[in-house]
Amino acid sequence: MIPLYVLGLLQRYGPQHGYQLKKTISEELEDFTQIKLPTIYYHLEKMSAQGLIAGSSEKAGARPEKTIYAITQSGKVAFIDALREQLSTRYRPVFPSDALFYFSEHLEAEEILQSLQEQYAFLQQSLKTIEQHKRQTLAFIPEEAKPMVNIIFAHHEYHFRAELEWVAYSLKQMKGEQES
């Protein structure tokens, strides 16, 4: 998934170095992915060795040289292949919190209930933030990109809402259990 972003951004915005890629990802994709800078360098080097991108050391003035990477022809092919592979991967979520409920007899019900309530507040806040980011993003991007950006934001909204509803459901279940 990270190689996809790197190849795609290199193709969309032209040759760049790692720090610039990280900045673009942080600004445009912060709600959807949290790629770390060393991870970008790792993939740049790997893809460079594979010939998917080509690095050139630029020495501008008295500055230390920095490596600027450009996507190659075989990189463009690999990019399309990777996109196409994404098409066939299926949804398979893993929720670490399941382990918590699976072993919940080791904690006080009261403690779990309280953390669920905090979780609920957090999710409500997150939903507001996402909606706000959506509005901001849609205001700044070109018209033709809007439908797809809308779909990506919707993806997160649907799942945050689902998580919110599940937390509400769990709270209801556990409270009912406690009383009986």
Contact by Cβ (8 Å): 82, 52: no
Cα–chain center distance at 106: 33
Least distance to DNA from the beta carbon of 33, Å? 9
Nearest-angstrom CA–CA distance, 23 and 5: 12
Q: Supply the minimum distance, in Å, between the C-beta of residue 66 and its own copies.
A: 26
Q: Which amino acid is at 143?
A: E
Residue closer to its own copies, measured from CB, 56 or 172: 172
| Residue 17 beta carbon to its own copies: minimum distance, rounded to whole angstroms | 21
Q: Which pair of tokens denotes residue 98?
A: 């399941």
The verdict on 27 binding its own copies (CB under 8 A) reads no
Residues 29-68 that bind its own copies (CB under 8 A): 29, 32-34
Smallest separation (angstroms) from its own copies to the CB of 76? 9
Q: What are phi and psi of 179, to 5 degrees?
A: -70, -40
| Alpha carbons 175 and 49: distance in angstroms, whole number | 57
Dist CA 13 CA 29 (whole Å): 15
> Is 48 an interacting residue with respect to DNA (CB under 7 A)?
no
How many C-beta atoms surround the C-beta of residue 5 within 10 A? 19
- Site residues for DNA per CB under 7 A: 1-2, 17-20, 23, 34-39, 41-43, 45-46, 61-64, 66-67
- Site residues for its own copies per CB under 8 A: 1, 4-5, 8, 12, 29, 32-34, 79-80, 83-84, 86-107, 111-112, 115, 118-119, 122-123, 126, 147-152, 154-156, 158-163, 165-166, 169-170, 173-174, 177
